[in-house]
Structure 1
Amino acid sequence: MKFSIIILLCIGIAMSACTTQTEPIYYGKDNCGLCKMTIMDSKYATELVTPKGKVFKFDDLRCMVIFMKTNHTSSADYAHLVVNNFDNPQEFINVTEGTFGQGTLFRSPMRGDLAAFKSPQFSQKLKEKDATIKFFSWTQIQEMFN
């Protein structure tokens, strides 16, 4: 009986260690998976999670895209690819569901200067503030950086 309980407990622990969930980013503590700088600005942080549950955090969307290219991977190779919502930085957005803006209003840490938005209305408000803003899809973003 005790042996069965120990086995079940070990299986439960092993299964919980293999989750493929995103993790909170601890600003001022976590480091970028590419450039190794400390992640400080919540408006531009990104994260990807492998199918085995390994989490990589980035201080800039540019770093995440270069990391993917360096490792010869695509979106399909990951369980999660998320970016912080510029309008609500505590909220992750799946990269395929966001709109990305680039313009003089944005100054991201590694100068990718891209911000992600969930709300098309917010994107439009920003366009009214700065006519230089250009909008991109995730497919277009993946082609930007080498």
Structure 2
Amino acid sequence: MNTTKKWMTGLMIGGASVALAACSTASAEPFEIKWGKTECEVCKMKVTDRQFAAEAVMENGKGYAFDDIGCLMRDWYPKQKEDKIAAMYVKDYKTKAWVELEDGHYVYDEMAKTPMAYNIVSFGKETDAKSYMKDHGGKLMDLDDLKKHDWKRGKMEMKMDGEDSEMKMDDSSSDEGHSH
């Protein structure tokens, strides 16, 4: 093999090694939810609300979608091994952009209308969370607070035959997930 071919071969092998290393150390990115079609991993409801959705991406690349941060944090996360999770995301209530769970700022607002009535609103910026609290009340939380939160559900509003009705969610439901 002449010097040019050896150099090119070495360059290609080196480039491939760098590319593989970059893939294995890159943080997982949020995946695309098909709004109104993708089902929540826990409650199996369609993920439709872009302000309250959450995701988990595993080290093996598999992704899980959730319609409410409560489905992620109460029912799914405690059953996982943290070293298998590459990243978890929530939607920013204000911007609807993805925010890494650990970087988020959360407001527990009993009056918030979230899909599964866990009443946690997520923000990427603490100033946005505090602004929400100024207007609506609530308690500021971080990831550690979420892990210790009791995850009681409030009232769920449901539309039946064009009429609004309220339903109090029973927190004594099994650990298998949400009942419907």
Q: If the length of structure 1 is used for normalisation, what is the TM-score?
A: 0.78
1:112 is displaced (CA, Å) by 1.0
* 1:125 paired to 2:131: yes
SS for the counterpart of 2:77 is helix
Residues in 2 aligned to 1:88 and 1:24: alpha-carbon distance in whole angstroms? 16
SS for the counterpart of 2:102 is coil
Percentage identity across aligned positions? 19
Which amino acid letter does the alignment assign opposite residue 140 of structure 1? D
Alpha-carbon deviations, 1:31-52, whole Å to 9, x = none? 0011111011111000001100
Relative CO higher for 1 or 2, CA cutoff 8 Å, sep ≥ 6?
1
Residues in 2 aligned to 1:73 and 1:106: alpha-carbon distance in whole angstroms? 30
After superposing the two structures, state which structure 1 stretch, 47-56 or 107-116, moved more: 107-116
Residues in 2 aligned to 1:108 and 1:73: alpha-carbon distance in whole angstroms? 27
* 1:50 paired to 2:58: yes
Q: Which residue of 2 aligns with 1:26?
A: 34
* 1:103 paired to 2:109: yes
Residues in 2 aligned to 1:124 and 1:139: alpha-carbon distance in whole angstroms? 18
Q: Which runs of 5+ in 2 are unaligned?
A: 1-19, 152-174, 176-180
Q: Which residue of 1 aligns with 2:118?
A: 112
1:130 is displaced (CA, Å) by 2.1
- When the two chains are superposed, the root-mean-square deviation of aligned CA atoms in Å is 2.0
* Alignment: residue pair count: 126
1:72 is displaced (CA, Å) by 4.0
1:143 is displaced (CA, Å) by 2.0
1:125 is displaced (CA, Å) by 1.6
Match of 1:67 among 70, 76, 87: 76
**8 Å CA contact 1:83, 1:93 repeated in 2:** yes
1:128 is displaced (CA, Å) by 1.6
Q: Which runs of 5+ in 1 are unaligned?
A: 1-14
Match of 1:83 among 83, 86, 90: 90
**8 Å CA contact 1:21, 1:53 repeated in 2:** no
SS for the counterpart of 2:133 is helix
